[in-house]
Chains A and B, each alone.
Chain A
Amino acid sequence: MSEEITITIDDRQIKTRRGEKLLWAALENDIYIPHLCAIKEEKRPNASCRLCFVEIEGVSRPVTACSREVEEGMAVKTRTPRVDRLVKTGFELLLSDHNLNCRECPANRNCALQVIAKKRRLKLKHNRFKPIEREYELDQSPAEFAFDRSRCVLCGQCIWADRVEAEVGAIGFTNRGIDRVVTTFNNLPLADSICTECKLCVEACPVGALYYKEGQKA
């Protein structure tokens, strides 16, 4: 498992371990690949955000780096016209139902979407896809934090924190398609569910969906 192997990313040789996923091998060597849903400890990644595309020499199509294991001698490119196009489209789709109003967002300047936009020179704007606006009830029931689903990117980081770190099982993905949300059993406010308000999910959220109420951040 810990056998060392060498791969090439963007013409740079890096050393990594057999069994490692390409995304983490790159990030550990300061090679940036956009990602939202990847969880290092997860053996079977969801690969749902579709932002971590790369191209591998000899593989006909771009692949998601978070779900691809490294192989000895692999030659990888993080930027190609096909990759850039996929990432741009994926990013625009994510924004199309995102309550894009950074100035009023609790995650402003501390947001994974802003990082991706900056690193890949993508615009934090609605353009190609008509924005979808939906009404969500703001869940302010927990004492120290709140949940604004209009800013959720469905990355699943909070669910992992709830299940694996907190070992509670209070939240999960619900509904299908455009109606998909993260919520509690029977869609109850967090405070009425089995949520222990440990706040590990708030720590995990990469955007402004789960956030500390004013003056509550430790």
Chain B
Amino acid sequence: MQLMEGEREEILACVKEVLGENSKTNENLIPILQQVQAKLGYLPALAMEKIAEGLDAPAADVYGIATFYNQFRLNPPGKHEVRVCLGTACYMAGGNITLESFERRMEIKEGETTPDRHYSLDRVACVGCCSLAPVVVVDEEVEGKATPTRVDGIMLALEEDRENTGKQESEEGEKSGQN
């Protein structure tokens, strides 16, 4: 994932701060990862590398821990976060097919974020409304009976916003170009 302007500095500062607040032992690796993710929203590769340096541990080990636990995300949250429920009820109702439809439409895999950071796609386990299975949570909204046809509808609304954002950005770009 390409870092955005200023993100590199933000990451370095964040890791430095968190490492300063914790004693640098392997036992603290998970709390350190949690604190960094709480601040940055995800665990960028650069952060994991710097944490490894700080703990004097192989970066491959930090990566191993970060990929072991579901709570850690290696990609930034998108502007729109789509979470597909794969709890038992939703799975039985075809949640995996719903997930696949999103993967196809967004051209990313579960756990990933589109390069423009408009979408991120994740799986969750039971969000507590099994009677609506298969369930999808779009940002904070719960969408029930999210079959592939419904996925098309959800995507349509989200894509519209993406186009508008794109337009706004290029207009802003033009404006600042004029100044």
Binding site for B on A (CB under 8 A): 163, 169-176, 183-187, 194
Contacts and interface: CB of A to CB of B under 8 A. Distances in A.
A175 B68 contact: yes
Interface string B155-166: 000000000000
Given A173-B64, A185-B58, 10 more contacts: A169-B57, A169-B59, A169-B61, A170-B58, A170-B60, A171-B60, A176-B69, A183-B60, A184-B60, A185-B52
B48 A185 contact: yes
B67 interface: yes
B58 A186 contact: no
B4 to A, nearest CB: 18
Contact of A163 (B45, B58, B63, B68): B58
B49 interface: yes
Interface string B39-79: 00000010011001000011111111001110000000000
Contacts of B61: 169, 172
Interface of B: 45, 48-49, 52, 57-64, 67-69
Given A185-B48, A186-B45, A174 B63 contact: yes
Given A163-B58, A185-B59, A172 B45 contact: no
Nearest to B52: A185
A163 B61 CA distance: 11
Contacts of A171: 60
B111 to A, nearest CB: 10
A72 to B, nearest CB: 36
Count chain B CB atoms within 10 A of each CB in A170, A172, A194 and give the residue with the most. Answer: A172
Contacts of A187: 63
A175 B48 CA distance: 15
B60 A172 contact: yes
A58 B174 CA distance: 82
Nearest to B49: A185
Contacts of A194: 59
A162 B64 CA distance: 15
Given A185-B48, A186-B45, A174 B59 contact: no
B64 A174 contact: yes
